[in-house]
Chains A and B, each alone.
Chain A
Amino acid sequence: MTTTSGVTTARVPHQRRGKTPDSHTFPTRPYDLVKEFVIALGVVSLLSLALAAIFSSPDDQAITMTDWATNAPNDFVATATGELAGTTTSATYGAPYNHNSDGQSVLGMHLQKWGGVGVPVNSADLVLGPLSASTSPIARAALATWNAASPSQQKAWATSYADALAKAPDGNPAQVAPGSYGPVPVLAAGLLQLARTGGLEGALTSSGNFYGGDQTRSMLLLSDGTYLEDRAVAQNLGGDQWGMMNEIGNYPGQPWMWLYTFWYQVKPFSTSDNADAQVWLLMMVLTVGLALLPFIPGLRSIPRWIPVHRAIWRDWYRTHPAPRK
């Protein structure tokens, strides 16, 4: 039907010949969509309030540098030493923090490296930066010795001390064998002391900016140690514990992440250095497959082969039997 201005006003959805009929040609019955929505809103609201009242929600306090320094001081010192030796995870990470590794690749694509160093972090600075503001004469002297030495000398000192810590009982710095470690023991102990006083996060996060707000440097230092991971593994949050699905305690986790984390539990991904990139690509392919399911022969026919729909529309089929083919 067209108006005098020539504009067509009624446009019924086009029906494919011989295929799914137009839903608007079927018999109808009264239905109150708005009432249905309001009832649904009421049900979900009540259910949410009830579950919240009964089960609450988890809130384990964030690990502070003071926590770490107090509860796992040997791990802290070993981590600080590793930053100076350039052997920690962050020091050898590659993009986006530095150029010290090519990072992960999948199907020959070095996506991690191609992303570039967008968040530059010098791992040694995670130790030296906070210490540089120290007014302690011992710390200042140690820093001066460190800065005056060549990179190879610095690496030799730090690596020796790291090895010595690993050999000491329980990694205890107080029981390290004598050796040539330069200023490294003093620097590591100085950072431990700063952490104990509660000043380390601020020194790492603000970096001269009053408002701070970016926890990247604190998180990288914390992640380089084992304390954070030990706490997480104790709560079944580790990567090889289906951790992506889980929450601390008995709280509900993320059941919908089951397939993403599943791949990390099985070979070849569980032993692959490129597992993250590989799993990402695999899940991307599966997700696109899910989205394009209507166009995938075979998969899109599963609902016909396994006729769950006969139960859903049983009333309709009883009064409108499907025609014989």
Chain B
Amino acid sequence: MTAAPQAPPAGNWTTALRTRIVHVVPPGQALPDRQPAYVASWIYVFGVLTLASFVVVLVSGGVLAVGGVAWWHTSALGHFVNSVHLWSVEIFMAVMVIHLWGKFWMAAWRGRRALTWITGVIAFVASIGTAFTGYLTQSNFDSQWISGEAKDGINSIGVGGFFNVLNPGQMLLWHVVLLPVAVGLITVLHIVLVRRHGVVPPIDSEEGGS
């Protein structure tokens, strides 16, 4: 004989958190195997292409980290991995911008999806910042010139004493730890919001179905 399940005591933080997590997306919508019928255009693949590119950027960056900061200057394999990292970043930025174009023309912020749009813009800007610290981490002529120029912009707004682009040690850690984590978290939030609200219906659509 099994005992009847007992109600958790009121004010249980675990129950509250579990309830909150479970209700973030509608039931079955975390990884649904069906999509609304209007999701039928190649423009819709650019979100997942952005996510996939992000993964390739992280993996190639991870391999560079295994070798260390100067590895790619002295190893042909290291240089190739650096090239993969560069081109995956170019692809990442390109597909992300195409994704932004598509979402703009779909006015995808409709139906209480403003936060999805906002997190997308933040992810875009954070990605640019991450790429910027990457350029500073190359330990070559580019790093010298870019840091020399960028310091003027950052100093002009009073932030240079704290965020010193001439300090490669600091820039490296921002590039491989702080900013990827930030971009990752924003991305997760962005995708959860898409699953929560569903893909935005067409402009001028009335009640769903017939």
Contact = CB atoms under 8 A, between A and B. Distances in A.
Interface of A: 4-5, 7, 9-14, 16, 19-34, 36-37, 40-41, 43-45, 47-49, 51-53, 55-63, 93, 95-96, 103-104, 111-119, 213-216, 219-220, 222-223, 228, 231-232, 237, 239, 243-244, 247-248, 252, 254-257, 274, 276-277, 279-280, 287, 290-295, 300, 302-304, 306-309, 312-313, 315-317, 320, 322-323
B52 A40 contact: yes
A95 B112 contact: no
Contacts of A37: 48, 51-52
Of the four ranges (under 10, 10 to 19, 20 to 34, 35 or more), the interface on chain B belongs to: 35 or more
Contact of B166 (A24, A55, A219): A219
A25 B27 CA distance: 14
Interface of B: 7-8, 19, 22-23, 26-27, 29, 31-41, 43, 45, 48-49, 51-53, 55-56, 60, 72-73, 79-80, 82-88, 90-91, 93, 97, 102, 104-107, 109-114, 117-118, 121-122, 125, 128, 131, 138-145, 147-149, 151-153, 155-162, 164, 166-170, 196-210
Given A25-B208, A37-B52, A60-B141, A115 B35 contact: no
Nearest to B162: A118
Contacts of B80: 52-53, 56
A59 B138 contact: yes
B210 to A, nearest CB: 8
A9 B82 CA distance: 49
Contacts of B33: 30-33
Given A62-B140, A216-B164, A11 B23 contact: yes
Contact of A96 (B147, B160, B208): B160
A309 B39 contact: no
Contact of A312 (B43, B118, B143): B43
Given A31-B34, A232-B145, A312-B102, A294 B121 contact: no
A303 B107 contact: yes
B153 A280 contact: yes
